[in-house]
Every structure is written in structure tokens, then in C-alpha cells.
Structure 1
Amino acid sequence: ILASAVDAKPDAEAVNDVLRLKADAEKVAASLSAKADADMVVSVSDALANSSERADAMTQRMAILEKVVDAAAPISDVRALRADITDLTASLTSTDARTPGYV
């Protein structure tokens, strides 16, 4: 009986080692998953910032274009062009969510 108990001890230690390795592997997997989630949050945040910057730049360009149009065209043409610019601005900002890199 004593001999079989001594023989069983290394097997129990091996099982414990395997269980410890499994627990360590699960911790590493959870850590990698958390890092991937954090990286994804940063990526989404960057995409949103870039999208916002592009929208701001487009708005500034449209404002400059409106000033140029006001200075160069007769009043009836200005109204038509302003309507076109407003429509274009609306379409650009509404499709911004579909730009590459946006999640």
C-alpha cells in the first residue's frame, strides 16, 4: 500500500503541474484578450478622431468656398451654389460613418 502511495505521488504532482499550466495559459489568454480589446478601443478612438478631423477640415473648406462664391457670382447663382454646397456638406458628413477605418 505504501509503495503504491509513493508511486501515485508523482502522478498527482504531474496532474497538479498540468492544472497549474492550464491556469497559467488561461491567464495569458485573458491578458492577451484584454490587450486586444484595449488595442481595438484605441483603434476605434483614432478612427473617430481622424473622422472628426476630416469633417472639420471639410467644413472649413466649404466655408472658404462659400466666401469665394459670394465674391465671384451674381446673387441668384450664389443661392443655387450655396444650396449645392449645403447638400454636399450634408452628404459628406452623413457618409463619414462609412469611411475606411471607422468602426
Structure 2
Amino acid sequence: MTTGTKIKMLREKKRLSQEELAHAIGVTQTTIGNWEGGKSIKHEYISKLAEKLDTPIDYLLITQPNVSSQTSAETTSIIPNFEISIKAPNHLFENLNKKIDLLISKFEQNQK
């Protein structure tokens, strides 16, 4: 997973727009879009991003290989977490998000 993908995923998880994140760290919305698209990030902004997205700097910087969409049963069994992304206006999915969070927490409790 690339740094840009992680930024986008974390930003969406916190329900921030590119513009809101940009304002919070002192850059433009275009800059956030460029970073999410794979452009390099100046070192001065890495710590600001990590702080605003509540994640360690190392997580943003370490690139992980993508998992193939055609995974085997063996691969699937060792992946402990998963995430579903749905693009739509936030107000349409507030109740759905609560239900999904509840399902995920119950799933995690059953895994322990």
C-alpha cells in the first residue's frame, strides 16, 4: 500500500474532505490530491499528516505491497482485518456506518 493510498484511507476513515485536511495542515486541497495520487511529500508535512490522521509517521512512510484481488484461501485466512469503502454523501450512510462498526466490533470480539 502506498503512502498516498494510506493518506486517503485514513482521511476518509476520519470523514475529512481533502479541503478540511489541507486546511488543518496548511496546504491546498490540490496538494492533498497530489499526495493521494502518489506525488512526493515534503518532510515538513509528514509529521503534521500523521498527527492529524492519528497514525504513526512510520505507518505513512513504509510502503507495503498490494494484496492481489485474487487471493487464495491460505492468504485470506492470515489477513486479520478488512475494510469496505463506499463513496457517497456522509448523511446517506451515517446509520449504515454505525451498524457496520457494530458488526466489526462483534467480529473482533469473536476472534479473541
Higher helix share: 1
| TM-score normalized with structure 1 length | 0.28
State which structure, 1 or 2, has the greater radius of gyration over its C-alpha atoms.
Answer: 1
